[in-house]
Amino acid sequence: MAKKSMLLMLAAIMMITLLAACSSNSNNGGQGSGATSSPTGSAEASQSPAPSEDSNAEAIRNGTHKFDPPVTITTVKATDGTFKFKNGENLENNVHTKWALEELGIQLKNLWESPGDQFATKVRLMLTSKETLPDVLMTEDMALINELIQSGHYRDITDDFEKYASDGMKELYSSHPLMWSQVTHEGKKMALPNFAHAGNDNAVMWIRQDWLDELGLKAPATFEELETVMQTFLDKKPGGTNNLIPLGLSLGSGGNNPNPFAGWLGESTWVFGPYGTIPYQWLEKEGKLVHGSTLPEMKDGLTRLNDWYNKGYISQEAGLHDENKLAELIGQGRVGIVVAPYWLPNWPIPDLKKNVEGADMLPYPLPTLNGKSAARDTTFLRGGLLVKEDFDHVDALFLYLNRIFGRVSQEPGGEFENGWAKDYDYTILADGSVSVAEEDIQGGKVGVAKYVLIDLKNPFKNLEMLANISRGVEPKTSAEKRAAMSNPSTLKAAEIVDDGWKNGYAIAQQFTGAPTPAMQSKSGILVKLEGDTFISMIYGKKPIDDFDNFVKEWKSIGGEDITKEANEWYQKTK
């Protein structure tokens, strides 16, 4: 009897083992073909080729996979006046969506499109009305990103990025300590960061070269020399210019979020930098974050601007001038000096040359004060691409991202070496050369980059490339050869910006996280207080000695809370 029981028990064990093996094979087979058994046991089996899920992941990282049947990725899009189409196309059906479907088996679907100033409102309405949210959403609005993360509808992509991102993407996104800073919450990567070109709006001093030549002046290298040049412009009125403005400032810049000193055209942070502060910017002092607008060094910069205002070096209406108004004044030939980005030869200098015969503006380094120059370093961080929590095809999204990353790497012979789409944003001429000129592209040039889910870029590559060409480095890649055809003044200005990085005069914003609760509730009133106070001091309507009272008020109405939260974030990131 005991022997019979033992035999029954052994039979049961064998049956359980066989069932377990069948179950294991069934599970592997469910993931795809290609699984093999290993006669030598579990240790060797664990080293055998991974199931097809991993094989697909490798193909996705390499950009060689194609989904069949196609999968859909939904999104929403903020549009503006630069969106253009040709050949009867639209945002839903165009050369890029066709490429994604044909090459990757991915259908890009826009749930809706909206002007940029209405975009955040429409997204918030989707949240409150519990509408179906898009699979992916790209926005530069950090307050909106924070709300979407807090809603719980969008996911942590830390593991997704590690699993599916190509080696090139991983290398880029780990190349700078700030890369993930805006979209990291509690240690989780909550969006794929979006970048602008670094240094895109960094400070370069542009001067009417024809005026310098007419008056026999050299470009100023110091604040003292700058003041001499501005006074000479006023006294001599070069070119017979009426209502001349020696220094163009856009103190009315910023619209609903005014920052009178940091307009992308006519900025003046360089006036404060040599004294040791950058207004409206978070700086590190003794291991803690401080707000540049509240430092005592602000008084020196305000005193300098008030003096220039009183002497007529800046317009009496500078507080009303935004960037577009200043561009108009430059185009009219009234502005002698302006501190502005490296790309000024694209606009508005062409308007100046058209309207004033013989006129030109050339780039020079910022003037120094006591041997120092400093200005803000415009941030390259621009929000990010969020991914919906229940989105089933994150693999498809990364396949798409890995392929369009070819536009960033610009490898010779790559599908995006010359641009996004032939006869859209570039064309091949009869002699085999590449042209991106509007007049060479049949039917006109359109910016295909506007159609993509996210315009991936290496934020540091563009300006560095231009600077190297200015220094005489021989262009080799297709992108470098196109860059070499840029206006020489553009190349020289890019070199000046790059030198600024190397010499440490570009001062970076030290707070790059999502808006804190106090920032969301108090920033508006604080920014208004700063703007009203500083403009009044420059105009002489309020004594600069009142600065200490301004700081006390700033702290009492929310600044102290914001500073506390900013430092809590900073200590965590450190």
CATH (domain of 59) = 3.40.190.10
Total domains present in the chain: 2
**pLDDT tier for residue 11 given thresholds of 50, 70 and 90:** very low
Same domain, 417 and 367: no
Task: Fill in the DSSP letter of residue 555.
Answer: I
Domain membership flag for residue 77: yes
Same domain, 253 and 368: yes
**Contact between 189 and 371 (Cβ < 8 Å):** no
**pLDDT tier for residue 437 given thresholds of 50, 70 and 90:** confident
**Which pLDDT tens digit goes with each residue over 358-409?**
999 999 999 999 999 999 999 999 999 999 999 999 999 999 999 999 888 7
CA distance 241 to 237: 6
Domain membership flag for residue 5: no
Domain membership flag for residue 561: no
Q: Which of 73-82, 302-311, 476-485, 544-553 has the lowest mean pLDDT?
A: 476-485
Mean pLDDT, rounded, for 549-556 = 98
Angle (CA) 196-366-364 rounded to 5° is: 90
Same domain, 299 and 394: no
Residue type, 191: A
Same domain, 215 and 345: yes
Domain membership flag for residue 463: no
pLDDT for the residue numbered 70: 97
CA distance 100 to 400: 7
Nearest to 206 by CA among 372, 348, 322, 312: 348
Torsions phi, psi for 263 (to 5 deg) = -65, 150
Same domain, 80 and 183: yes
Mean pLDDT, rounded, for 220-249 = 96
Q: Residue 332 above 90 pLDDT?
A: yes
Put residue 67 in one of left, alpha, beta given phi > 0 → left and psi -120 to 50 → alpha.
beta
**Which pLDDT tens digit goes with each residue over 39-53?**
333 333 334 334 345
Q: Which of 74-78, 268-272, 336-340, 515-519 has the lowest mean pLDDT?
A: 515-519
Nearest to 347 by CA among 368, 364, 313, 324: 324
Domain's final residue, options 416, 439, 462: 439
Mean pLDDT, rounded, for 149-159 = 96
Same domain, 265 and 169: no
Q: What are the CA-CA distances from residue 284 to residues 432, 565, 569 (Å)?
A: 53, 14, 13
Nearest to 535 by CA among 227, 315, 373: 315
Same domain, 349 and 391: no
Torsions phi, psi for 150 (to 5 deg) = -65, -25
Spell 232-254 as b/e; 16+ CB within 10 A means b. Answer: bbeeeebbebeebbbbbbbbbbb
Same domain, 71 and 153: yes
DSSP SS3 for 156: coil
**Which tops the pLDDT comparison, 375 or 142?**
375
pLDDT for the residue numbered 482: 84
**Contact between 482 and 403 (Cβ < 8 Å):** no
How many helices (H) does the chain have, and how many strands (E)? 22, 17
Same domain, 118 and 211: no
- Full domain range(s) for residue 76: 53-196+382-439
**pLDDT tier for residue 249 given thresholds of 50, 70 and 90:** very high
Strand pairing partners for 290? 283
Same domain, 336 and 208: yes
Domain's final residue, options 390, 409, 439: 439
DSSP SS3 for 201: coil
Q: Residue 241 above 80 pLDDT?
A: yes
How much is the pTM?
A: 0.81
Mean pLDDT, rounded, for 281-296 = 96
pLDDT for the residue numbered 266: 96
Q: How is 224-284 classified by DSSP, letter by letter? A: HHHHHHHHHHHHH-GGG-SS-EEEE--TTTTTTS--TT--SSS--HHHHGGGT--TTSEEE
**Which pLDDT tens digit goes with each residue over 200-218?**
999 999 999 999 999 999 9
Same domain, 220 and 352: yes
- How large is the C-alpha radius of gyration of the chain? 29
**Which tops the pLDDT comparison, 50 or 441?**
441
User: 278, exposed or middle or buried, with CB in 10 Å at 0-12, 13-18, 19+?
Assistant: buried
Domain membership flag for residue 17: no
Mean pLDDT, rounded, for 182-192 = 91
pLDDT for the residue numbered 395: 97
Mean pLDDT, rounded, for 467-479 = 92
Torsions phi, psi for 497 (to 5 deg) = -65, -45
pLDDT for the residue numbered 257: 54
Percent residues over pLDDT 90 in the chain: 78
pLDDT for the residue numbered 311: 98
**Which pLDDT tens digit goes with each residue over 87-134?**
999 999 999 999 999 999 999 999 999 999 899 999 999 999 999 999
Q: Residue 15 above 80 pLDDT?
A: no
Domain membership flag for residue 116: yes
**Contact between 347 and 327 (Cβ < 8 Å):** yes
In 80-158, DSSP assigns E strands to 106-115, 136-139
**pLDDT tier for residue 80 given thresholds of 50, 70 and 90:** confident
Same domain, 354 and 405: no
**pLDDT tier for residue 82 given thresholds of 50, 70 and 90:** confident
Domain membership flag for residue 342: yes
Domain's final residue, options 400, 424, 439: 439
DSSP SS3 for 427: strand
Give the residue carrying structure tokens 């002698």. Answer: 336
User: 117, exposed or middle or buried, with CB in 10 Å at 0-12, 13-18, 19+?
Assistant: exposed
pLDDT for the residue numbered 50: 40
Q: Residue 185 above 90 pLDDT?
A: no
Domain membership flag for residue 521: no
In 479-569, DSSP assigns E strands to 506-508
Strand bridging mode 204-208 / 335-340:
antiparallel
Name the average pLDDT for the chain.
89
Percent residues over pLDDT 70 in the chain: 90
pLDDT for the residue numbered 22: 39
